[in-house]
Amino acid sequence: MIEIDRLCKRFGAIVAVDDVSFSVARGEVLGFLGPNGAGKSTAMKIVAGFLTPDSGRAAVCGLDVAEHPIEIKRRLGYMPEGAPSYNEMTPVTFLGFIASVRGFSGKEKRRAVDRAAEMTRLGEVLNQPIETLSRGYKRRVGLAQALLHDPEVLVLDEPTDGLDPNQKHEMRTLIRDMAPEKAILISTHILEEVGAVCTRAVIIARGRIVADGTPGELEARSPNHNAVFISAPAQTLRTLAPILRELDGVAEVAVGDNSLCARPREGCDIHDEIQVLVRQRNMLVSEIRLERGQLDDVFRAVTTGGALTGTAGAETAED
Amino acid sequence: MGVMGAVFRREFVTYFITPLAYVFIVIFLALAGTLTFFLGSFFDRGQADLQPFFAFHPWLYLLLVPAIAMRLWSEERKIGTIELLLTLPISTTQAVLAKFLAAWAFTAIALALTFPLWLTVNYLGEPDNGVILASYLGSLIMAGAYLAVGACFSALTSNQVIAFVLAALVCLIFSVGGTPIVLEFFTGWAPSGVIDTIASLSFMSNFRAIARGVIDVSALVYFASVIALFLFANVVLVDLYKAR
């Protein structure tokens, strides 16, 4: 539904988007990740038809954004960064305006506005000027505007930024509920978001794609993926560490004050083996945990250009 | 209601949601009245017409119209709603036209509210109402020209004050183009053809023709061209902002 092919965009000397390609199919929620200023918003603005790319091609529903701008804007729901809206209007007049521009009138218009307001739970503030609303509500007004015409393709720039935990949860539930019938592209720099709503994640840094995969695949790229984490008194750890180092599947053992982290060789599962071993020797440990791998580590590694092993793992071991 | 209708209505209603409309109308009427009666010697002339009223319109518009126009695009750029507006199914040209027409309709209302002056001259004597109507129409189309300049400069910056000052400056140049202030700068070195052209490009001299009650086709074409030119520039500036 969304296809981006070798997109480039520069602002003066700054390269905002550099040779970015990806696609989003129906039923997919693609999380666009990256540090601030990585080029996420720029790429989304190009998809939404607001910015013109220097080179490359963006297509929505099979139509080229540059060639059919109006048709694409009709099919696409877009929430710009910061969810801007006309502050002096109330949500109901604002949504009414959007509905009119999108060609709704009369009963249909009222139904579309009601539906969008209900989905985003705007009920109690519908008649308050937008400038008096809290950040969470403003964001919901922005989302309601994007959903109003029930578009097949949704592009949401940082939909949960500035929301409190409850609102974030609601926003994610809403996005997940809509996901099966739509192609959704969301950007975020909050990593927990990816596991919570996305079926796929693309990490972008300095305008380039540095990782692309399902949240699981990305986690697997973490040095701590399938690592075993043990909490125990220092003495126990001192005896345990050399034994673990002898195991075939173990690549590395890092010992901290009261904890230990054993990283497996690629493709090895060491969790069960270690658990059996600890039980056989009647060792006193307070916790044995299997690490899925932190997306944070992967994110930090790929966006700062550092190696995937090293610092990230050591920090975890000292926790 | 079409796409342009929706944008037009939103823009138009916005003037009245904010205090801008009321402040503008009150100041416009107060200044129009003051200038007519005091500087224009409305009573002393002893003639039942609105010449002294219309004569000051270029000066009134010079100050006030950029104030209506300055928010048209600057505000959208500042708050970021320009991104929202231009990702709705509307072309840049449609958006530019709808916004311009809304501001123009608002100016028309302010102008129409000067009707007590018209009632006054009709009470005092027997003016040529045809001339007055022609002058009103001429004044409205001239206001459109000032507005188009203002809208264009509004699209240039996200700062409303800068938009206002630039628009007022360009409006001033257009207004006084036919007066000695500008012409004397060129006299002596520029060929007379150039000087005549500059003189004919002035809002004042073109408006004077209409205000006399003559529907001067060339003056109408002139104002229409100024409007078209600046709105075209407006579209280009908005598109450039997108392509930057």
The amino acid sitting at A1 is: M
Across A23-36, b (16+ Cβ under 10 Å) vs e yields ebeeebbbbbbbbe
Per-residue pLDDT at A315: 36
Nearest by CB: A70 against B83, B84, B89:
B89
B91 touches chain A (CB under 8 A): yes
Query: How far is A114 from chain B, CA to nearest CA, in Å?
Result: 19
Q: What is the mean pLDDT of residues A228-243?
A: 85
Per-residue pLDDT at B142: 92
B45 touches chain A (CB under 8 A): no
Domain A228-318, architecture per CATH:
2-Layer Sandwich (3.30)
**B83–A84: do the CB atoms touch at under 8 Å?**
yes
Local confidence pLDDT in tens for the 244 residues of chain B: 588 999 999 999 999 988 888 999 999 999 988 888 777 777 777 676 777 788 888 889 998 999 999 999 999 999 999 999 999 999 999 999 999 999 999 999 999 999 988 888 888 888 888 888 888 888 999 999 999 999 999 999 999 999 999 999 999 888 887 777 777 777 778 777 777 777 777 888 888 877 776 777 888 898 999 999 999 999 999 999 887 7
Nearest to A61 by CA among A198, A200, A154: A154
Phi, psi of B232 (to 5 degrees): -65, -45
Residue A144 burial (C-beta neighbours within 10 Å; 0-12, 13-18, 19+):
buried
Tokens of A179: 């996901």
Q: Residue with structure tokens 């007049």?
A: A93
CATH 2.10.50.10 fits A2-213, yes or no: no
Query: How far is A20 from chain B, CA to nearest CA, in Å?
Result: 18
Mutate to test the interface with B, among A10, A65, A101, A109 (most CBs of B within 10 A): A101
B86: nearest CA partner in chain A: A50
Calculate Rg over the CA atoms of chain B: 19
Query: How far is B91 from chain A, CA to nearest CA, in Å?
Result: 7
| Residue A310 reports pLDDT greater than 80 | no
Report the C-alpha gap between A126 and A133 in whole angstroms.
10
User: Of the ranges A86-100, A227-241, B133-147, which one carries the lowest mean pLDDT score?
Assistant: A227-241
| Residue A276 reports pLDDT greater than 80 | yes
Report the C-alpha gap between A73 and B158 in whole angstroms.
24
Q: How many helices (H) and strands (E) does chain B have?
A: 14, 0
B10 touches chain A (CB under 8 A): yes
Per-residue pLDDT at A307: 40
Collect all residues of chain A within an 8 Å Cβ-Cβ radius of residue B18: 88
Domain boundaries, chain B: 3-243
Helix (H, G, I), strand (E, B) or coil at B128: coil
Nearest by CB: A101 against B88, B242, B244:
B88
Per-residue pLDDT at B122: 87
Tokens of A136: 């969470």
| Residue A312 reports pLDDT greater than 60 | no
B205 touches chain A (CB under 8 A): no
Alpha helices, H only, chain A? 40-47, 69-75, 91-101, 106-119, 135-147, 165-178, 192-197, 215-220, 234-246, 271-280, 295-304, 311-318
Give the full edge-to-edge strand order of the sheet including A259-264.
Answer: A250-255, A259-264, A228-231, A287-290
**Are A2-213 and A228-318 the same fold in CATH?**
no
- C-alpha distance from residue B146 to each of A299, B50, B70 (Å): 54, 21, 11
Per-residue pLDDT at B196: 78
The amino acid sitting at A176 is: R
Domain boundaries, chain A: 2-213, 228-318
A82: nearest CA partner in chain B: B80
Percent of the residues in chain B that have a pLDDT greater than 90, as a whole number: 51
Nearest by CB: B83 against A50, A52, A87:
A50
